[in-house]
Amino acid sequence: MGQLYEMTVQRFTDHLKFEKRYSPHTIDSYGNDLGQFYAYLKEQFGETEVEGISPAMIRSWLASLKENRIGSRSIVRKISSLKSFFKFAMALGFIPKNPATNITTPKINKRLPVYVEEAQLDTLFTHVDFPDDWKGKTERLALEMFYETGMRLSELVHCRESEIDFANRAVKVLGKGNKERIIPMGERLLGRIRVYREEKRKVFGQFDEKYLLVTEKGKKTYPKYIYRAVKKYLGMVTAINKKSPHVLRHSFATHLSNNGSPLNDIKALLGHSSLAATQVYTHNTIEKLKNAHKNAHPKG
């Protein structure tokens, strides 16, 4: 990899990690996209530095992706990676203009968010037996917090005890782009957090009290630890293919929408920067209305 290109990629990924606070998974995706792009450049055009990359080179790479039957959704993400990277390189003064600015993004069909039905989540929290050991208590609280706050995985893992405001029944969340938001919490969930916090002190004594959720060793939880728990317990109550923390975030938003919550309120709770990102949750409501009309109206 060209020395300047490699240095710019490293500074870019550091920027995503420390300033934008993107998740490790997202940062890896950007890095993989930029690595694949450079591998293609080297093979087709030889050693190329960042200032020597042209729009024609980018279009050539995208054409090769299509020839190799890479899906439109993946190509859209790769274009986004390149545009963000070159915008960053331009801000550093390494290039005079962004060669990806006029690259056309292919249209893709919007996928409806996958979510778990309310009755299934009620079954999970009412009838499923979580183990009475520390792991079971941590896993249950993690699932409840996902569903009742709509937090992202990285936000939950980094949630600190000091960010739980018991007096005002809320939690302060530091989301993408260091954007702070306040999410209300129900008294029942706050009660569970109180008990968990008290038991944590009894079980572990001296430990790092900074983070709310900890493993059986008293250490901060990590994404894979939480992901595995969500996949395991959702598998007990639903047959949907995707079982992840983000599905619980989708469930949080979808159930709010289905029960009449204004879209702007859902946007604020999720920490979306654009209303367009939140509007996808109205589609599930529209589909329910269509089904109601079809099943109940004489001309349906």
What HEC string does 3-65 produce? HHHHHHHHHHHHHHHHHCCCCHHHHHHHHHHHHHHHHHHHHHHCCCCHHHCCHHHHHHHHHHH
Same domain, residue pair 81 and 145: no
pLDDT tier for residue 187 given thresholds of 50, 70 and 90: very high
Of the two residues 22 and 142, the one the predictor is more confident about is: 142
pLDDT tier for residue 25 given thresholds of 50, 70 and 90: confident
Same domain, residue pair 43 and 124: no
Same domain, residue pair 76 and 135: no
Same domain, residue pair 284 and 175: yes
Same domain, residue pair 135 and 270: yes
Buried b (16+ CB within 10 A) or exposed e, 6-25: eebbeebbebbeeeebbbee
pLDDT tier for residue 281 given thresholds of 50, 70 and 90: confident
Which domain, by its residues, includes 158? 118-294
Which amino acids are annotated catalytic?
152, 176, 246, 249, 272, 281
Same domain, residue pair 201 and 81: no
Same domain, residue pair 131 and 203: yes
Of 75, 91, 107, which residue constitutes the final position of a domain? 91
Of 56, 91, 126, which residue constitutes the final position of a domain? 91
Helical spans, DSSP H, in the chain: 3-14, 24-45, 55-67, 72-91, 118-127, 134-149, 153-157, 187-204, 223-234, 245-258, 263-270, 275-278, 280-296
- Over the chain, what is the mean pLDDT? 91
pLDDT at 208: 59
Residue entry with tokens 């209300």? 184
Query: In this structure, what CATH number is given to the domain that contains residue 41?
Result: 1.10.150
pLDDT at 289: 56
Phi-psi region at 232: left, alpha or beta (left = phi > 0; alpha = psi -120 to 50) = alpha
Overall number of domains in the chain: 2
Same domain, residue pair 84 and 123: no
Same domain, residue pair 147 and 269: yes
Question: What pairing do the DSSP bridges indicate for beta strands 164-165 and 170-174?
Answer: antiparallel
Does some domain include residue 223? Answer: yes
Does some domain include residue 271? Answer: yes
What is the average per-residue pLDDT within 136-149? 98
Of 91, 126, 150, which residue constitutes the final position of a domain? 91
Does some domain include residue 237? Answer: yes
In the chain, the largest separation of any two C-alpha atoms, in whole Å, equals 70
Does some domain include residue 300? Answer: no
Does some domain include residue 96? Answer: no
pLDDT at 114: 92
Does some domain include residue 274? Answer: yes
Q: What is the pLDDT of residues 84-113, one digit of tens each?
A: 999 999 999 999 999 999 999 888 776 778
Same domain, residue pair 69 and 178: no
Question: 159, 171 in Cβ contact below 8 A?
Answer: yes
pTM over 0.75: no
Does some domain include residue 278? Answer: yes
Same domain, residue pair 29 and 141: no
Same domain, residue pair 183 and 287: yes
Does some domain include residue 201? Answer: yes
Query: In this structure, what CATH number is given to the domain that contains residue 210?
Result: 1.10.443.10
pLDDT at 37: 97
Q: What is the pLDDT of residues 64-79, one digit of tens each?
A: 999 999 999 899 999 9
189 has pLDDT over 70 = yes
